[in-house]
Amino acid sequence: MSNPRIGFHLSTAGGVFKAAERAHEIGANTFQIFSSSPRMWRPARIDASHARQLTELRRKYDCTPMVIHTSYLVNLCSQSEEVRKKSVAAFRGEVERALALGAEYLVLHPGSWRGLTREEGLVLAAASIAEATDGFNLDDVNFRILIENTAGAEFSLGSSFDQVAELITRLRPVVPIGACLDTCHCHVAGYDLVSPEGYEETVDLIKNTIGFADVRVWHTNDAKAARGSKLDRHQQIGKGTIGLEPFRRLLNDKRFRHCAFIAEVPVDEPGDDAKNVQTLRSLIATSAKPARARSKR
Ligand SMILES: [Zn+2]
Ligand SMILES: [Zn+2]
């Protein structure tokens, strides 16, 4: 990917292809959607003509990758066999729709292991993903499931890079797999992205657990709550407890150059989506800038 990939989580109201139109309108060249209602079990149907239009528009606007975020109801490590079964079926639907829409990535929160041990939860989540993807031929498609790090609420799996890495290791022989890291989740889970030294330590931890190559998407969200608070409340870029500078550092970090950066922040006023995309883009250093700064000295 030559130019940086900056995008937003967008609505599919009016048809899934509308998201590509919206992305283009707000200056994004990557985006994320839900492929069904994120708070209902009812499976969605993909309209084939809408899927075709989506592919055409993405090609026309050079909008890639496209990311699908899994429904919030899916809990693949639930202690309740009924909920887990429903979750496996729902996640299977997510994979089916992602393939039908030509999505490059499907982002998944690993789930809540309440009632089990963390280790049992981890094993169960990996087994459920294997079960949900059984029978799909995922070798020849440009598609990966991405495990997202979580904010660290009690019993939620994946709030540490270690846990994300362990799931990836377990799943690597089973499905094409990678990670999606969320800046807000990192911050409220206790990782330091804000101080320059803390940022380097955090990035070192990523290198030694998940590894850079497997990080495919960053959810670039500022946070409303304090570092370590475990409260998952997203804020617009630069207006929260993370602030602008850490995003500048991340967006210009060569170790994440292959990643897509997608904001999932509140749209309080019409146009806030475009504004946040613009903010992220404005933080990317143009190659001329550092040279000029150096020649002044
Ligand atoms: Zn996220
Ligand atoms: Zn979140």
Q: What is the pLDDT of residues 75-120, one digit of tens each?
A: 999 999 999 999 999 999 999 999 999 999 999 999 999 999 999 9
Q: Is the pLDDT of residue 73 over 90?
A: yes
| Pair type for strands 234-235 and 222-223 | antiparallel
Q: Yes or no: say if 251 and 4 are a contact pair by the CB < 8 Å rule.
A: yes
The closest ligand to the CA of 109 turns out to be 1
Number of H helices, E strands in the chain: 10, 10
What's the 152 CA to ligand 1 centre distance in angstroms? 13
DSSP 75: -
pLDDT for 123-170, tens place per residue?
999 999 999 999 999 988 999 999 999 998 888 899 999 999 999 999
Can you state the angle between helices 244-251 and 272-282, rounded to 10 degrees?
Answer: 60
The closest ligand to the CA of 149 turns out to be 1
Residues with CB under 5 Å of ion ligand 1 are: 182, 219
Considering the entire predicted model, what is its pTM? 0.94
Question: Which residue segments constitute the domains of the chain, with CATH numbers given?
Answer: 5-296 (3.20.20.150)
